[in-house]
Every structure is written in structure tokens, then in C-alpha cells.
Amino acid sequence: MSDIEERVKKIVVEHLGVEEAKIQGDSKFIDDLGADSLDTVELVMAFEEEFGCEIPDDAAEKIVTLKDAVTYLTANSN
């Protein structure tokens, strides 16, 4: 597991209160991990904070799984 994946997973565990073992790369935040639309906004804010980057709204809308987040942050974080 990459360092970025590990950090993303930690944020998801903290914010959504799910067990780490239940999070798969293709787990959808809303459908599979019990988040609501406001939770996903907060998740993106937490990713921005952790990785020191700004995620524009159109990119944020496309981040629906752990894998999406890791892919985006690998390409765009400092």
C-alpha cells in the first residue's frame, strides 16, 4: 500500500467511522461506506488539508471511491 493510500484510508476511517478492513479500493463513499453528500464534502476538505492542495469542485465530484482519491492525489499533491 502506498503512503498516499494509507493516509487517505486513515482520513476515511476517521471521518466515516468505518472499520479499516471494510474499505476496499473500489468502495464507494456513499453507497458502500455510509457517507452522505455532506460527508463527502468534508472528506474532500480533509484531503486538501492533509495533502496541502486545492481540489476544484469538478474534480471533487469525480472522487467517489478510495481509488479515485488516491489517483487524484498522487497526480496532484505536492
> Is residue 41 a contact point for other proteins (CB under 8 A)?
yes
**Is there binding between residue 19 and other proteins (CB under 8 A)?**
no
Stretch that binds other proteins, among 2-10, 39-47, 59-67, 70-78 (CB under 8 A): 39-47
* HEC sequence for 19-63: CHHHCCCCCECCCCCCCCHHHHHHHHHHHHHHHCCCCCHHHHHCC
Shortest approach of other proteins to residue 33 CB, angstroms? 13
Q: Based on CB atoms, which residue is closest to other proteins, 38 or 75?
A: 38
Cα angle: 46, vertex 4, 16; to 5 degrees: 40
Where do contacts with other proteins occur on this chain (CB under 8 A)?
Answer: 15, 17, 38, 41-42, 45, 48, 54
